[in-house]
């Protein structure tokens, strides 16, 4: 996972020829200018979001000016009241409960399956692994309606079970694959040593392999959190009581209303809904970026 | 990528035979580890696929028993439902616009960052950030406001709001996808870093131009990664939902111009309660994605180059 750190030192060597230094310096400046300009454009929507969440109602759409004439904190107090008489704290709690449950489920079930695929021998391993890979490409919609019917028959519609339970059954094959790839990189001698010391497959999984797989597990946890947090479609079809809504679903209520006066509070709530992802991103960006970089190319 | 092939069954057997534990017991352990996945694959993947195939030949509203109608859903879809074709056209147009633009941008930025000495880590993370935020309802709402009448784009370009104009609304959604080029960019960058520098040094000695080096070294060496990104992003693009829902308040407007396939599927199944019809739509989507993936894999043989093919 730490391949990145070695590259800068190597590249400095090639640029050390004296006469080539000047044009390269100019090129470097141009490159940075280009990158920064691109970044400004890319970050504009987020700056707009933050600015608008603090604008008074009459300035929201009136001008190009990003900065509000004064900071309208009441947008946030209105947003905290929530939607449909459900406070933002409740919505936030609901979102956290679903995302947290999904994280626990995915880390547990995907690492178990991954260990079997990466390290254990069993009949039909080849075909089952191929099937698991194929389900990464399976569109969610192909299983959506029967899954809905199943959860409906179990009386679980309008509860959080349909959003959490599947994660305990390793249905997100992407993460199984990710962890398999990581486990394959661990030396086999570790388990052989553990076996000689009398560890069965379960103890060597929990005591030897799982601790070493931590980077892949953290990547799985963070991505699961963010994707579940952002998910809209599943929540839309399974939840309909306002007090069970997540932040994402509450934002949807604004979509229908869409009157300009609600703009400030709507975007204040959008900021609140994005905040956990932004914090996660700032805290774990190395894991996120490298987790993505390693997701498929180290075949 | 060709991970499935490395399990020589014969060798596996000798290994387990020499270990002290009986083979049966070790195999049993594997199935214990695998049990959550097996249960999920059976009950939440295989069974639902079979059921949705069955339902696609029925009339089903979730409340009364499914009523067999044969190919009725399919014939209605293909011959009597202009909105269906509208959603197909919208989705295909979107895929064809968004995916190449997104991957092109991702590649250009990855190439720009590749040899950067300072700030590479910073740019890499910063360009990646929208990929994580962009799938959210929050950003979709921002998008709608920016591209609405009186929004930033209206002010800057004087084109009026895009989200209220057929054709342009689709472009606005496509731009949201292009904006999220960070994930494929990060994968490209990791791929570029694995190309041995000696190849470029040798080409420089031979006097190859930068463009020539790009075409003859970078593209072939990167082709497995390009292929990986292409397949992944195409499959994802076929299933886009949240921005379409937000931009059109769930209705696919204006004039059905953002009625994406999945939005129409949701509308038929969960708003109009035509679960049979929606199941037929889901199966067509499954087949189309399968076919597109198969075609991509087939054509990949002519342009994807695996450097380490010999030792696999």
Q: What is the pLDDT of residues A64-121, one digit of tens each?
A: 677 887 888 888 988 888 777 888 999 999 999 999 999 999 999 999 999 999 999 8
List of chain A residues whose C-beta atoms are within 8 Å of the C-beta of residue B47: 146
Q: What is the pLDDT of residues B154-185, one digit of tens each?
A: 878 877 778 888 888 999 999 999 999 999 99
ipTM of the assembly?
A: 0.86
Residue of A nearest to B155 (CA): A64
Which of B34, B43, B62 shows the shortest C-beta gap to A116?
A: B34
Q: What is the mean pLDDT of residues A189-205?
A: 88
SS3 of chain A: CCHHHHHHHHHHHHCCCHHHHHHHHHHHHHHHHHHHHHHHHHHHHHHHHHHHCCCCHHHCCCCCCCCCCCCCCHHHHHHHHCECCECHHHHHHHHHHHHHHHHHHHHHHHHHHHHHHHHCCCCCHHHHHHHHHHHHHCCCHHHHHHHHHHHHHCCCCCCCHHHHHHHHHCCCHHHHHHHHHHHHCCCCHHHHHHHHCCCCHHHHHHHHHHHHCHHHHHHHHHHHHHHHHHCCHHHHHHCCCHHHCCHHHHHHHHHHHCCHHHHHHHHHHHHHHHHHHHHHHHHHHHHHHHHHHCCCCCC
User: What residues does B59 pair with on adjacent strands?
Assistant: B67
Q: Mind telling me how many Å the CA of A106 is from chain B's nearest CA? A: 11
Which of A32, A99, A139 is the best mutation test for B, with the most CBs of B within 10 A? A139
Confidence (pLDDT) at A288: 84
Residue B10 pLDDT exceeds 70? no
Query: Cβ separation of A64 and B225 shorter than 8 Å?
Result: no
List of chain A residues whose C-beta atoms are within 8 Å of the C-beta of residue B253: none
Interface of A with B in 46-85 (CB under 8 A): 46, 48-49, 52, 61-64
Structure pTM? Answer: 0.87
Average pLDDT over chain A, rounded to an integer: 85
Whether chain B has a CB inside 8 Å of the CB on A195: the answer is yes
Which of B2, B10, B37 is the best mutation test for A, with the most CBs of A within 10 A? B37
Residue B29 pLDDT exceeds 80? yes
pLDDT confidence of B17, banded at 50, 70, 90? very low
Residue B69 pLDDT exceeds 50? yes
Query: Cβ separation of A205 and B33 shorter than 8 Å?
Result: yes
């Amino acid at each position: 996972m730490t391949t990145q750190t070695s590259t800068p030192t190597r590249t400095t060597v090639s640029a050390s020829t004296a006469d080539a230094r000047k044009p390269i310096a100019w090129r470097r400046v141009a490159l940075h200018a280009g990158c920064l300009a691109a970044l400004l454009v890319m970050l504009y929507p987020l700056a707009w979001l933050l600015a608008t969440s603090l604008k008074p109602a009459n300035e929201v759409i009136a001008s190009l000016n990003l900065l509000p004439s004064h900071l309208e904190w009441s947008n946030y107090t209105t947003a905290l009241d929530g939607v449909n008489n459900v406070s933002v704290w409740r919505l936030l709690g609901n979102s956290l409960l679903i995302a947290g449950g999904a994280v626990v489920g995915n880390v547990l079930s995907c690492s178990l399956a991954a260990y079997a695929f990466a390290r254990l021998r069993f009949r039909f391993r080849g075909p089952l692994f191929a099937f698991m890979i194929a389900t990464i490409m399976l569109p969610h919609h192909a299983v959506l309606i029967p899954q809905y019917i199943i959860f409906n028959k179990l009386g679980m519609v309008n509860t959080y079970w349909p959003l959490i339970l599947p994660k305990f059954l390793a249905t997100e094959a992407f993460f199984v694959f990710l962890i398999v790839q990581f486990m394959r990189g661990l030396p086999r001698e570790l388990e052989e040593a553990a076996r000689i010391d009398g560890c069965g497959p379960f103890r060597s999984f929990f005591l030897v392999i799982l601790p070493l797989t931590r980077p892949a597990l953290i990547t799985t946890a963070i991505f699961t959190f963010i994707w579940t947090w952002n998910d809209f479609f599943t929540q839309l079809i399974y939840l309909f009581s306002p007090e069970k809504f997540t932040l994402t679903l509450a934002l949807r209520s604004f979509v229908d209303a869409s009157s300009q006066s609600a703009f400030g509070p709507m975007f204040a709530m959008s900021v609140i809904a994005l905040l956990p992802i932004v914090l996660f991103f700032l805290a774990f960006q190395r894991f996120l970026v490298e987790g993505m970089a390693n997701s498929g190319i180290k075949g | 990528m060709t991970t499935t092939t490395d399990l020589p069954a014969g060798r596996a057997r000798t290994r387990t035979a020499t270990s002290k534990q009986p083979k049966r017991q070790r195999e049993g352990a594997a199935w214990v580890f695998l049990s959550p996945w097996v249960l999920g694959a059976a009950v939440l993947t295989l069974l639902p696929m079979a059921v949705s195939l069955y339902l696609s030949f029925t009339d089903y509203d979730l409340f009364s028993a499914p009523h067999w109608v044969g190919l009725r859903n399919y014939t209605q879809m293909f011959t009597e439902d202009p909105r269906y074709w509208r959603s197909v056209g919208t989705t295909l147009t979107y895929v064809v616009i968004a995916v190449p633009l997104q991957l092109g941008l991702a590649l250009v930025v990855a190439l720009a960052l590749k040899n950067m000495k300072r700030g590479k880590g910073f740019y890499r993370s910063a360009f990646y950030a929208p990929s994580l935020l962009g799938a959210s309802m929050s950003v979709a709402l921002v998008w709608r406001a920016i591209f609405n009448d009186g929004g930033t784009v209206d002010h800057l370009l004087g084109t009026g709001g895009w989200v209220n104009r057929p054709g342009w609304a689709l472009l606005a959604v496509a731009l949201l996808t292009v904006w999220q080029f960070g994930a494929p960019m990060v994968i490209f960058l990791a791929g570029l870093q694995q190309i041995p520098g000696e190849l470029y040094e040798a080409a420089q000695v031979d006097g190859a131009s930068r463009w020539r080096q790009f075409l003859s070294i970078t593209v072939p060496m990167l082709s497995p990664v390009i292929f990986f990104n292409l397949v992944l992003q195409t499959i994802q693009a076929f299933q886009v939902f949240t921005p379409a829902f937000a931009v059109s308040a769930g209705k696919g407007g204006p004039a059905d111009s953002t009625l994406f396939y999945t939005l129409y599927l949701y509308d038929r199944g969960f708003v109009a309660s035509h679960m049979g019809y929606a199941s037929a739509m889901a199966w067509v989507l499954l087949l189309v994605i399968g076919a597109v993936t198969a075609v991509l894999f087939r054509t990949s043989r002519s342009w994807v180059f695996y450097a380490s093919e010999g030792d696999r």
